[in-house]
Structure 1
């Protein structure tokens, strides 16, 4: 499913360009070679994202000294690397409190029991993409680059997702 989300980002530069009708999007994804099960999951996930982005919410006026406390369920699904990355993005003002909450909600909506950092980055990318948020080039590069943990414990960059 994550591959489909990356495909949508790369194919449709703007979220509005992506077909809104699930049937039309499913046909395009099927023509691109994705499997039906993955397509269904991706369309459902994307529909949830569109829903939370479009719903009016109370303004988040988080104090810069406040911290987000994760529930046990969130901690189990969103590991320390993902939470640290989220804190980094907030501290650098790439994300605001509302976007942070959208990202956490969409991470919890994934079918996997635990979200890896590379998948988490795609979730961040998709939330910002759906909101048409402007992104710093370095942040965009970070979101589109996967990292892997090698046996010797060092992090190395591998092929970009794009």
Structure 2
């Protein structure tokens, strides 16, 4: 499924939006993706599209920290939680966007998601919120977590 998300970003980022589910399903099938993966990705994207900042209480933005539930701890490593905290503390993401990222990560129903996958989820959440994405943020989210510094 993550290959499909990367394909969507690479193919449709400059257009600002990916096609509706029916058209997207046909395009993904034509690109060689498996039907089961396409179905999983479309279901996940449907949940992503339903996320709306207005559905979260405004008090989230006033909180000083976040305690993770046991399920969230199982789904995301310490490294992932540290990444989200760092980005939030440095005002790269808002607390509401953090919650959206957590929602989509937990929706995958996978344990111990690596940082690279969370970065892709973060990219998709920010893109879905129709934000102007700073090229440096996009580069950071697309750079593998274990890569050495580029020069």
Q: Which residue of 2 aligns with 1:72?
A: 70
TM-score, normalised to structure 2, is 0.89
SS, match of residue 62 in structure 1: helix
Higher strand share: 1
Structure 2 CA distance, aligned partners of 1:76 and 1:110?
12
Query: Judging changes above 3 Å, is the alpha-carbon distance between structure 1 residues 60 and 136 closer, same or farther for their aligned structure 2 residues?
Result: farther
Higher helix share: 2
1:52-95 per-residue CA deviation (whole Å, 9 max, x = no partner) reads: 1376443245336x110000110111111111110111112111
Structure 1 CA distance, aligned partners of 2:126 and 2:109?
21
Deviation at 1:107, TM superposition (A): 0.4
Q: Which residue of 2 aligns with 1:7?
A: 7
- 1:36 equivalent to 2:39? Answer no
CA RMSD of aligned residues (A): 2.1
Q: Which residue of 2 aligns with 1:99?
A: 97
Moved over 4 A (4+): none
Structure 1 CA distance, aligned partners of 2:59 and 2:7?
31
TM-score, normalised to structure 1, is 0.83
SS, match of residue 110 in structure 2: coil
Q: Which residue of 1 aligns with 2:108?
A: 110
Structure 1: 5+ residue stretches without partners: 149-155
Deviation at 1:114, TM superposition (A): 2.1
CA contact (8 A) 2:28 2:38 kept: yes
Query: Judging changes above 3 Å, is the alpha-carbon distance between structure 1 residues 17 and 9 closer, same or farther for their aligned structure 2 residues?
Result: same
Aligned length: 149
Q: Which residue of 2 aligns with 1:145?
A: 143
1:122-148 per-residue CA deviation (whole Å, 9 max, x = no partner) reads: 000000000011233222111001133
